[in-house]
Amino acid sequence: MIGPVLKVTDLKKAYGAIQAVGGVSFEVMPGEIFGVIGPNGSGKTTMFNSVLGQITPDAGRIELNGQDITHKSPQQLNQLGVGRTFQTLQVFGKMTVRDNLLVAAQEHQGSMWSRLFAPGDSGLGDRADALIDQFRIRHVAHKKAGELSYGQQKLVDIAMAFMSEPDLVLLDEPCAGVNPSLVGGISSLLKQLNQTRASGKKASSFVVIEHNMDFVMDLCHRILVMVEGKVLAVGTPDEIRANKAVLDAYLGN
């Protein structure tokens, strides 16, 4: 039986008297797109950053493919096959789009010695070019990222997270600030990337925090709803839509 790629058990994090995350548990299976929603202040970001090694939880356990990663650093997690995007763009504005992608995967190229004697693009050029085409940004590939529109920079930011071909990608509000006309394109790209990886030797799993409900409902296989630091519900989009407690606490209608 195939186990979860990500398993979070009884995760807790408090700031003084405020319990930001109060015993959250969930699993993400290989090839699954798993959404996390909840009102502002529900603990989503704290939970997310705990999983990613940005902050240290007070209690609980986080496992990646059965390995305890609770106290791993973001760099260690990246080397173990975890990619991520942030709420704010993390592109290098003075570098070209293609170079942004190459830099994003440098830490996966072994020792400093091997990098020194690798090809000029560290052997990552084919992968970068494939993602550039997949994200339909070939026409801006040699432009500086800082010269692009916000939506184009968002695409670059997401593409960077996939340069290392990670087993798990955590996407923090991928649609934030994006023109509504691009939201559907981002959803299609993520579905395509998920299906492409799932058909290979390893299935890539995504965890997505997003406020755009239509985006989450269309994209995700299952959704976790957080309220006041706790799990209110976990289920398929149809189950979440039909859950009265979710409707009352979050959706409002």
Q: What is the pLDDT of residues 193-210, one digit of tens each?
A: 988 765 455 568 999 999
Which segments of the chain are extended strands (E)? 6-15, 18-28, 33-37, 59-64, 67-68, 82-85, 168-172, 205-209, 222-227, 230-235
Question: What residues does each domain of the chain span?
Answer: 1-81+166-253, 93-164
Q: Which two tokens stand for residue 133?
A: 């085409």
Q: What is the pLDDT of residues 12-49, one digit of tens each?
A: 999 999 999 999 999 999 999 999 999 888 999 999 99
Q: Helix, strand, or coil here: 213?
A: helix
The pLDDT score that the predictor gives to residue 117 is: 39
pLDDT bucket at 142, cuts 50 / 70 / 90: very high
The pLDDT score that the predictor gives to residue 111 is: 41
Q: d(Cα 138, Cα 135) in Å, to the nearest integer?
A: 8
Ranges 54-58, 93-97, 172-176, 245-249: which has the least confidence: 245-249
**How do 222-227 and 18-28 pair as beta strands?**
unpaired
Q: Which helix (H) or strand (E) holds 218?
A: helix 213-219
Q: What is the pLDDT of residues 70-91, one digit of tens each?
A: 999 998 998 898 999 988 888 9
The pLDDT score that the predictor gives to residue 250 is: 64
User: Alpha helices of 162-205 — where are they, by DSSP H?
Assistant: 180-198
* Residue of 1, 2, 49 lying closest to 21 (CA atoms): 49
Residue type, 119: P
Task: Answer for the pair 219, 190: CB distance below 8 angstroms, yes or no.
Answer: yes
Q: d(Cα 115, Cα 123) in Å, to the nearest integer?
A: 9
The pLDDT score that the predictor gives to residue 197 is: 62
What class has domain 1-81+166-253?
alpha beta
pTM of the model: 0.89
